Amino acid sequence: MTERPAPFFYAADGDAFTPTGLAASPWERGKQNGVALGGLLTHLVEQVPATVAMTTARLTIDILSAADFAPTIGRARTVREGRRIQMVEAELLTGDRVVARATALRVRKADTPMIATPNPYPPPEDVAPSDFMGDRAFGGSMETRLVRGGLRTRGPGTLWVRFAHEHVKGVALSPLLRTAILGDFGGGLGSEVDSEVWTYANLDIAVHLVREPVGEWLLIDARTASAGQGVGRSDMVLADRDGPFARAHQTLFIAARG
C-alpha cells in the first residue's frame, strides 16, 4: 500500500515560498493564515547557523499586516552573533511589503541545575480522540485529544495535539516549529468571548522555552484575560509527556462582528 504524502503549507522555490490551500485564511479570502506565517518564519530562523550548540530560549512572532495569498519571500539574518547568546531575525514579504517578522533569542547549551516543574496533565493515551478543528484541518493530518474546553466552548481549554504535516514541502517538522504552531492555538482554545458576537484575532505570539519538546504529542493549556478595552491576552502552558517546557502568550484584537 502506497503511503499518502504528507500535506504541506508551502513549496520552496529559491527565496520564495508558494502557499497551498492549507495556508489560506479562514477569516479573509485571498489572504494567508497566522499558523502558516508563524511556521514559515520559524523555519527561516532555524536555517541560520550558530557557532556553538544553542537552544532557543525565546521566539517572538509579529503579524504586521494581512498577507496576500501569493508567493512569499523569506529573509533571515543574524542580528547579534556570540558564543553565549545569539539573536536571529526573519521576515516575510508579499510583493514589496513586509507582512510578518520573527525574532529568536538563542542561548548556549550547558549543564546547569534542573528546577522541576509539576506535571498535572494526563498522558494522551488517557484522553479520548476529539475533532477539535474538523477533519480537514491541516489536510486531515492532525490528531487531537481534548482534555477540557473546546474551540467553541468559552473558558480555559487543554488539548493534546499531534502534527503530521510538513510546513515546507520535503522538510520534517522540528520541535521548535511544532512549538510555534501550537502557540497559535491559544486564543481559540481558551477564548472567553462569544465567537458568534466577537472576533479575537491574534496579533503576535511570544514563546519562552526552557527546553525543546520531546516526542510527537504536545499539550497546550490556554486561558484568556481581558479588561474589556478591545484587547485580550492568551496565556498558555506548553507541555509534552515529561511536563511543561514553555509558556506562550498572544495579544488578541477583540472586535464586534459586522
Q: For 131-171, how does the pLDDT look when each residue is reduced to its tens digit (9 = 90+)?
A: 888 767 888 899 999 999 988 889 999 999 999 999 999 99
Beta bridge partners of 252: 202, 232
Q: How far apart, in whole angstroms, are the C-alpha atoms of residue 89 and residue 135? A: 35
Identify the segments of the chain with pLDDT beneath 50.
Answer: 1
How far from the centroid of its chain's Cα atoms is residue 180's Cα?
Answer: 3
Cell 474538523 belongs to 134
Q: What is the predicted pLDDT for the residue at 110? A: 96
Q: What is the predicted pLDDT for the residue at 2? A: 52
DSSP symbol at 67: P
Q: How far apart, in whole angstroms, are the C-alpha atoms of residue 121 and residue 242? A: 10
